[in-house]
Amino acid sequence: MTEYAEAIRLVLADVPSKTKFAVVAPKLDRKGNLDAGQVLAELTGPSSLLVLWPFHIRVPEDVFAAADQMLDVDALQPRHLMAAIKQVHGAVVDVETATRILQCRLSTLFAALRSGRPVFAGVERLSAICEFVPPKLEVRGSRLEDLSGYGEAKEWGIALAEDLWLWRSGRIDWADVDRGILLSGPPGTGKTMFAGALAKTCSAHLVATSVSRWQSMGHLGDMLAAMRKSFSEAEARKPCILFLDELDSLGDRQSFSGENGNYCTQVVNGLLELVDGSERLEGVVIVGATNRPDDIDPALLRAGRLDTHIRIPLPGFESRKALSRTYFGPTLTDGDLERLAVATEGFSGADFDRVSREVRRQIRKSKGSVSVDLVLSKLPPPMAIEGELRWNVAVHEAGHAVVGLHLDIGILHCVSIRKEVRRYIGQHDGLALFQMGDAGLRDRRSYLDQIAMHMGGLAAEAVVLGTIFEGAGGADGSDIHQASDLATMMEVQLGMGEGLNYVRVRTAHELDRLRRESAVIARRVEKVLLREQERAKAIVESNRSAVEAIARALCENGFLDGPDVARVLAPHSLRGGNA
């Protein structure tokens, strides 16, 4: 603001006029707001006022009413900088140099080109630091076209690049361009990498920040100022991709309470106000990222904001082959890539990046070359699912399948056992995959049947193996976790439990917190799970031969699809049990 005020004074000094101008640049208060009172006080003076007001902060009604005219000052362009350097320093810089140093923050630029320093000394200093401002994300694929495993998000990004090109050329209006997207997925799936590649594909600047970075600035006023600064930086570098990470940390206003409730509400409201600047944000596409999309305030996801939500899953088999080629080089054969794709099941893009660094470090030490055996040696040691462990896992998954089929909860797509697992990733050893039927309104029995299916693996272990193992619980997404969430919803939302009330909960985190804080709810949920476990055990006991037949076939083949299971069950018609 100071530099703009000085520039205006220089311009006005050369304008022949009897009118006296006073240039006012209001200052921020501790809450991150501009002091409008300073402007209004100057209105009583003899001079005409020229007020500098940041375009990312709303102009108060009193100032708007007092203004005779309002003009938007465009962002500093290379030609402006070239002309200024020539006029002030008497030197000439080319377009490429001016464009490069404009990537620096304006305060840094003005500091480097200070009065009394030779201009080329300032340019040299700026050239040394411009590589790091704004933050740049290095991605191996460089562009979206070169990345694998992004599916629908990649298609969206390539379509956005085309729309931005049409907008730049004046063929479509900004209203026809998608202006926001929310990416969600497990940690390490490459949401940050996607933003960097998207910016390169779109030939746009990238401004990357996060909620934790805003929060680290200090109290409420500092945080709001940091938020505005990020948006101002993006607006000054149009076209721009503004990447906002950890959006779930802001929370949902409906869940705020206690001493921090007002603080958190003001933060969410501040972000909504910034996101809503339609004309101001022309040329800026906002990419939000989160690991927990259910924790985000719904208002942020409404039309005109981050209204496109795409989940980025962990990479599948073909994507892992492509990532292996990208990270470990072109010397690997197709057979090598298939071995790595199998061995890296459950890996995220971040896992590939970590392993590739270890591989490159080993190559530097040994002065060797990349081989599939070298890469495999850098992966966590595998544990083969075989022998007694394989039989235990097979019985568990067969229990899910038989209980689910007996209760007709949906279509059984497959039952499978992994050949090996790498424990640190938190993979499940096996899977019984049902597709729930689309029956419209669900009744209480359908929820209880689904809970019984989740308890079916534990029931089969108890009946067939005579003991139970840890695989049914102990992790997010486990059988007991999913059954607990269903039972909690029945008790506090759906009117299907012992009580009749409604508690607004939307996420697994909120359901878990409710069970922790309410002993009554926790006891009710436990009663449901114990009752359905007993029902599942009765079904397994009545159909033990079917469970064991599926388990034997699963041990032998590792994978059974729906028709395979039907053929195994043909000699074993499912019987009643306590359904």
Contact 39, 49 (CB under 8 A): yes
CA 282 to chain CA centroid, Å, is 23
Contact 245, 210 (CB under 8 A): yes
How far is residue 347's CA from residue 13's CA, in Å, rounded to a whole number? 64
Of these residues, 345, 397, 491, 532, which one is catalytic?
397
Query: 10 Å Cβ neighbour count for 48?
Result: 11
How far is residue 551's CA from residue 391's CA, in Å, rounded to a whole number? 7
> Rg of the chain's alpha carbons, rounded to an integer?
31
Among 245, 248, 120, residue whose Cα is nearest residue 193: 245
Contact 32, 9 (CB under 8 A): no
- H or E stretch covering 290: strand 284-290
How far is residue 278's CA from residue 259's CA, in Å, rounded to a whole number? 33
DSSP-derived 3-state class of residue 311: strand
Contact 577, 539 (CB under 8 A): yes
| The token pair that represents 251 in the structure block | 């929370």
C-alpha distances (whole Å) from 326 to each of 342, 375, 477 are 16, 13, 31
Check if 397 is active-site. Answer: yes
How far is residue 528's CA from residue 487's CA, in Å, rounded to a whole number? 7
In sign, the C-alpha dihedral spanning 78, 80, 83, 89 is negative
**Which ranges of 95-179 does DSSP label H, i.e. alpha helix?**
95-101, 106-112, 119-129, 151-168
Among 437, 428, 372, residue whose Cα is nearest residue 396: 428
Query: 10 Å Cβ neighbour count for 493?
Result: 16
Question: Which residues participate in catalysis according to the annotation?
Answer: 397
